[in-house]
């Protein structure tokens, strides 16, 4: 939830727009930072009350590039650009600019959030090759399948022996008590 409601933000903006006090004085009166007051006023002037509502958004690379180009062409500040495009956090514009300078438009594409996975994602499910009969498979394919089935069989036998061994060891431990 947002720290300040839309009604509170609107009252701060209206109080400032009366023109009697500076952004610093209005901020001190309402207990918010003066830069926040200026940001709310700019957003309100550009988009109305909708500009004060909380917004969760993810931007694609083309939008980010168009925002940067407009900022560079018109010589706008980060604050002005954020207000113009209704972007809540002006600091993301400097990040977009740095990413673009380092890697071009590809660096602007959204990245996966959070810690990278240490285990690679499993491949998609294999479709069974049941439609092909054994008669149509080559000798190499049949030998590869036979080898795989033998390995699977040996693994299952080994696993069964190990589980039998551990259960019997547990029974022996419990009977000694």
Count CB atoms within 10 A of the CB of residue 145. Answer: 13
Q: Identify the three-state secondary structure at position 75.
A: coil
Confidence of residue 74 (pLDDT cuts 50, 70, 90): very high
Percent of the chain with pLDDT over 70: 89
Q: Report DSSP letters for 121-148, one per residue.
A: PPPPPPPP-TTS-GGGS-HHHHHHHHHH
- Reported as a single tens digit per residue, the pLDDT across 23-38 is 999 999 999 999 989 9
**157: Cα within 13 Å, side-chain hemisphere:** 6
Name the residue with higher pLDDT: 119 or 37: 37
Model-level pTM greater than 0.95? no
């Amino acid at each position: 939830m947002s720290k300040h409601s839309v009604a509170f933000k609107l009252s701060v903006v209206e109080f400032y727009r009366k023109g009697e006090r500076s952004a610093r004085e209005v901020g001190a009166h309402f207990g918010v930072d003066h830069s926040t007051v200026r940001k709310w006023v700019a957003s309100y002037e550009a988009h109305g009350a909708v500009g004060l509502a909380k917004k969760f958004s993810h931007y694609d690379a083309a939008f980010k590039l168009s925002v940067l180009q407009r900022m560079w062409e018109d010589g706008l500040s980060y604050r002005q650009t954020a207000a113009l495009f209704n972007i809540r956090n002006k600091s993301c514009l400097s990040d977009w600019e740095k990413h673009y300078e380092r890697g071009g438009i590809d660096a602007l594409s959204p990245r996966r959030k959070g810690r990278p996975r240490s285990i690679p994602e499993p491949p998609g499910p294999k479709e069974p090759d049941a439609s092909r009969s054994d008669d149509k498979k080559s000798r190499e394919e049949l030998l590869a399948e036979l080898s795989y089935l033998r390995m699977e069989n040996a693994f299952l036998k080994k696993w069964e022996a190990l589980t039998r061994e551990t259960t019997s060891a547990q029974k022996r431990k419990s009977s000694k008590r």
